[in-house]
Amino acid sequence: MNARFLNKVVLVTGAAQGIGRGVAEALAQEAAKLVLVDRASFLPEVAAEIKAATGLADSDVLTVEADLESWSGAEQMVQAALTQFGRIDVLINNVGGTIWAKPYQHYQPDEIEAEIRRSLMPTLWSCRAVLPTMLAQQGGAIVNVSSIATRGINRIPYSAAKGGVNALTASLAFEHAADGIRVNAVATGGTEAPPRKVPRNPKPLSADEQIWYQQIVDQTIESSLMKRYGSINEQVQAILFLASEQASYITGTVLPVGGGDQG
């Protein structure tokens, strides 16, 4: 077993499903102390399954149910982590994902705002909330999960949100490299994942929305040099690399993991 994260306190947002859960499972295999954050009510079940599979002690895994679209949620998350563990070594910002798939002219103003709240604000709030602790420690690593969809179709508000994540990554790294804080991002490509237990958009897709979503799939595959979607594990391994000391001389970088699609 690798132990790159032995005795490291790692905070994972969006940990209940998809890439976030994959990150949590992989970190548990590498002996991390985990703070798993999500607004899904089944997060404790996920934590129990991870502990059973890896042998982590109850005291090594903390779950926090919080809405990271708000500053209060981010504050709650950090305070809970500090109360349990006293420090935060790594923050992995995984909350986000397009809610709707359609050409920009079909988005309503409230939908545009909802996309920005979903895919930019949790990363902004979480970075701000954890920063004082990492400054006091004079060290830490932040990995933001971005997307190659900054260059794509039928999800312009999501693309803009992830472009903001990329800009945040570069600027925060610049601002705090002297404080021993590394900030990087993984721009995920199309990723095969199990059906979500909590869908981002609970309403069934209309006939037009099904066509527009298929256009996203087709464009994603066509833009990839490998002509396929990636696996959750392929994204997870890139995220863990940037979070680890193996990437100790890398900061301010957005790493595309999209089969050759640079985003």
Tell me the pLDDT tens digit for each residue of 3-19. 899 999 999 999 999 99
Instruction: Using pLDDT thresholds of 50, 70 and 90, give the confidence band for residue 202.
Output: confident
What are the residue ranges spanned by the domains of the chain? 9-257
* 158 catalytically annotated: yes
Q: Which is the catalytic residue, given 104, 107, 158, 249?
A: 158
Contact 146/166 with Cβ under 8 angstroms? yes
Average pLDDT in the 66-81 region?
A: 98
Confidence (pLDDT) at 1: 56
**For the chain, what percent of residues have pLDDT higher than 90?**
94
Confidence (pLDDT) at 203: 85
**Residue where the block lists tokens 């990271």:** 68
SS3 255: strand
Q: Does domain 9-257 have CATH number 3.40.50.720?
A: yes
- The pTM of the whole model exceeds 0.85: yes
- The whole-angstrom separation of Cα 193 and Cα 210 is 18
Mean pLDDT score of the chain, rounded to an integer?
96
